[in-house]
Chain A
C-alpha cells in the first residue's frame, strides 16, 4: 500500500542525489542544478508532512521556498555570466583565489 513513508524515502533519496551531484562535479551549472534539486527534495518532504498532519503551513512554506529559489537563481546566473566572461572557463576548480599561499620556510 502506498504510504506516506514512501514519499519521505523518495525525498531523502533525491536530497542525497543532490549532495552527490554538488560535490562530485566540476561544472558549475551542474553544481547549481544539484542545489536546486536539494531544494525541491525538501519541498517534497514538506508537502508530504503537511498532507500527513492536515496542516496547511507546510504547503505555504514550500511556496516561500520556491519564491526564494527564483530570486537566488537570478543572482547565481548573473554571477555565472560574469565569471565566464572573466575566466572563459566553467571549471569550479579554477576559482581558488581563497587558497592559502605556499610558505617557503
Chain B
C-alpha cells in the first residue's frame, strides 16, 4: 500500500478548475472583459493535470504492483457509521482511470474546437470539468457512499449538459427525462446501499470490509441488495427498462454525447457491478438476470438502430447495445472481459461521436443521414477515422473491438447460456449491418444535392487521429492465449473471473462464426446501401422500428398520464378542499366578529344590562356550587 495525496488531486484539479470557472464567470456575466483564453486555460488545464497525475500513478501501480490509497478526511463519524473521504487505486480503478483521464482530455480539446463560437463557453467548461471530477470521484472512491456521491454528480452534470441549450424547451425536457430516470435508478441503488448498511455497516463501509463481511448477510437479503444495486446500474447505463433517456440525451452538444453518453458515465454501471463482484459472485440468480437484461437490451437497441435516421441517435442505440454486451459479460462472471470491452468501447465510441460531430459541424448542423452523402471525397480524414471505428465496433480483426467482443462471446458460449449467446451473436450481425449502413449512407452513397462544407479545424483532426490509434491498437493489451498472447490486461486486473475452458477447436469455430456473422452484416449493408440511401422495406416492422417500438408512448400511457392525473387530483383537493376549508374558517371568524360587534352599541344602558347579566350569572353559579 502506497499513500499518495496525488490521488485526491486528480479529483481536486478538475474540481477546482470547474469551481474557478464558475466563480469567474459569475463575476462577469456576459461582459466579455475576461478574455476567453483564461477559461480555456482553466478548462483544459484541469484535465491535463489530472491526466499527468493519473499517468504517473498508473505507472506506479503497474510497476510496483501495489495499490495506492489516500484518506483525505473523515467525513461522517456518527455512532456506528463512519465514512471517510478515502480513495483507492487498485487495478480495476486504474483501468477505468486510464481511459477516462485520457479520453476525457482528448475530448476536452475537441470540445474547445467545437464550442469555440459559443457564448456560454465558460458554462460549458465549468460543467464539463465538474463532470470529470465526479467521474474521478466515482472511480477512485474506496466506499460505496463516496461512489454514490460521484454517481449523483455525473447524473447532475449529465442533466446540466444535456439541457445546455436551455432556450429550446425540447432540450430541457430531454435533460429532465435523463435526470428523472437516473433518479429512479438511484432510488434502487440507495435502497440497496441502505440494506447493506443495516446488515454489515457497523463493521466498516469501505469495499475491503464489505468484501470480508459479505458472507454474514442471509442469501435472500443478499439477492435483494444485488438486485437493487443493479437497478441503479440500469438507470445509469441505459439498459431495459430505464433506457429511454439515452436517445433523447443526444440533444446536448456532441462533445457531451461523446464523453458522457459513450465513454464514461454510461459505463459507471458496469464498473459498479465489477466493483461489487464479491456480491454478484454469491448471488447467481441476480447475475443471470443481469446477463439477460444485457442480452435483451443489446438486441432491442440493435433492432431500433436499423431504421433510425439521426446520426447521433444511431450511435446512442449502438452504445446501449454495446453496454448490453458488457452486462452480459459481467453477469456471467467474466468481469475482466466486461471491463476490457468498456476500455475498447470508450475509444471507438468516442471516436464515432467525434467524427459525427465533425460531420455535423461541417454540414451546418445537419444531423439527418438521409440528407448527407458522398462525403468520402470531401472529408477523407474523417472517413478514414470513422471507417476504423466502424470496423472496430463490428468486431473485425485486428481492430480492438474484435478482441473484446470475441472474449465475451466465447465466455457466453462456454457458460452454456445458449439463448444469451444466440442473442449476442445476432446482435453482432445487426451491429455491423447498421453501423455500415451509417457509413455507407453518409460517405459512399451519392447525395441528392451538393452542399458546401465548412472547413474543419485542425484541432478536431488531430484529436480524431489520436483516438483512432487507440481504437486500432488497444486490443493488443489483452491478447487472448489463442492468439499467442498473455492476456496481460486480465492478469493485471486480477478479478475473480469464472473461467471456462474451451477446446481449441471450439474456440476456432466460434471465432470463425463471429467473423462470418460480422461479414454477412457488412455485405448486406453494402448490397442495400452502397448505391441508394433508401431503406428496404421490412413489412410491418417498418413503423415499429422507426418509432422505437412505441416504448415512449407506452411509458407515457402507463406511468406519466396516471401520475399527471393523480397530481391534478391532489391539486384539486388542495385548492378546493383544504384551502376552501381554511377560507371558510377565516370567513366564519369574520362573521363571528361582525356579530359580536353588535354588542358594542355605545349604549351605556346595554352595558349595564350586560353587567347585570354577568352578576346574576356569577351569583347563580356560586349558589349552585354551594348547594
Contact = CB atoms under 8 A, between A and B. Distances in A.
Q: Do chains A and B touch in the complex (CB under 8 A)?
A: yes
B612 interface: yes
Interface string A55-72: 000000000000000000
Interface in A1-43: 19, 22-23, 26, 31
Given A23-B605, A31-B605, A100 B612 contact: no
A37 B361 CA distance: 109
Contacts, number: 36
Given A93-B603, A95-B603, 5 more contacts: A19-B612, A23-B605, A23-B612, A96-B603, A98-B602
Given A19-B612, A98-B600, A92 B590 contact: no
A54 to B, nearest CB: 29
Bin chain A's interface residue count.
10 to 19
B608 A99 contact: no
B602 A96 contact: yes
Interface of A: 19, 22-23, 26, 31, 92-93, 95-100, 103, 105
B117 interface: no
B73 interface: no
Bin chain B's interface residue count.
10 to 19
A100 B603 CA distance: 11
B601 interface: yes
12 contacts: A19-B612, A31-B605, A96-B601, A97-B602, A98-B602, A99-B602, A100-B597, A100-B598, A100-B600, A103-B597, A105-B590, A105-B594
Q: Which 7 A-B pairs have the closest CB atoms?
A: A96-B602, A99-B602, A98-B602, A100-B600, A100-B597, A23-B609, A92-B605
B395 to A, nearest CB: 81
Contacts of A26: 605
Nearest to B587: A105
Interface in B575-627: 590, 594, 597-598, 600-605, 608-609, 612
B604 A95 contact: yes
B590 to A, nearest CB: 7
A76 to B, nearest CB: 13
Contacts of B597: 100, 103
B612 A99 contact: no
Contacts of B609: 23
Given A19-B612, A23-B608, A23-B609, A99 B601 contact: yes
